[in-house]
């Protein structure tokens, strides 16, 4: 059977030109407990930590060395160290040693678990509801 993905639906082509539509459920890596969610949200509820996390998410799985994070965000080394520790303790980022450098990267499994926790009971369990997944309004800049 061939399977193609179209938005939030999957097409399963069975026999000669016969297609059956069925909704696809998003499955998150792990079920997060309330305490873990609170810890993760608390770690992200600070301007500098949120900026660090967003930068690391944008960088992808390779991450960045601590020095590059400090340069890009113009954060002193001691302050950066504190914030990286808080994000690491919450499980939102991971670190790895590569020679003399420590690289930090976003923990995508934890991020997806948090998103799953927050949207677990969205729209009373209706996975096809569009109200919960509406597009954000774009703000127009004034000339």
As beta bridge partners, residue 62 has: none
Whole-angstrom distance, CA of residue 103 vs CA of residue 29: 23
**pLDDT at residue number 31:** 77
Q: Is 111 helix (H, G, I), strand (E, B) or coil?
A: helix
CATH number for domain 34-111, candidates 3.40.50.720, 1.10.10.10, 2.40.50.140, 3.90.180.10: 1.10.10.10
Contact between 100 and 93 (Cβ < 8 Å): no
Q: Is 96 helix (H, G, I), strand (E, B) or coil?
A: strand
- Residue 30 predicted with pLDDT over 60: no
**pLDDT at residue number 51:** 98
**pLDDT at residue number 32:** 85
The packing angle between helices 47-59 and 34-44, to 10°, is: 100
- Residue 99 predicted with pLDDT over 70: yes
Mean pLDDT of 101-126: 88
**Which of 42, 38, 34, 114 shows the shortest CA–CA distance to 83?**
42
Please give the full DSSP string across 71-88, using - where no structure is assigned: HHHT--HHHHHHHHHHHH
**pLDDT at residue number 69:** 98
**Which of 97, 111, 90 shows the shortest CA–CA distance to 65?**
97
Neighbours of 65 (CB within 10 A): 15
- Residue 9 predicted with pLDDT over 80: no
- Show Cβ contacts of residue 52 under 8 Å, excluding neighbours closer than 6 positions: 69, 73, 75, 80, 83, 84, 87, 93
Mean pLDDT of 21-42: 70
Q: Is 91 helix (H, G, I), strand (E, B) or coil?
A: coil
Q: Summarize pLDDT for 121-131 with one digit per residue, the tens.
A: 777 666 555 55
């Amino acid at each position: 059977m061939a399977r193609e993905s179209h938005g939030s639906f999957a097409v399963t082509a069975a026999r000669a030109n016969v297609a059956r539509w069925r909704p696809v459920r998003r499955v998150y890596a792990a079920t997060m407990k309330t305490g873990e969610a609170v810890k993760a949200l608390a770690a992200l509820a600070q301007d500098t930590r949120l900026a660090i996390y967003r930068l690391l998410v944008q960088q992808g799985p390779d991450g960045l060395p601590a020095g590059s994070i400090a340069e890009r965000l113009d954060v002193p080394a001691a302050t950066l160290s504190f914030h990286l520790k808080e994000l690491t303790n919450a499980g939102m980022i991971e670190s790895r040693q590569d020679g003399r450098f420590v690289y930090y990267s976003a923990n995508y499994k934890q991020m997806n678990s948090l998103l799953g926790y927050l949207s677990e009971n969205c729209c009373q369990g209706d996975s096809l509801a569009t109200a919960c997944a509406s597009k954000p309004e774009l703000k127009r800049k004034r000339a």
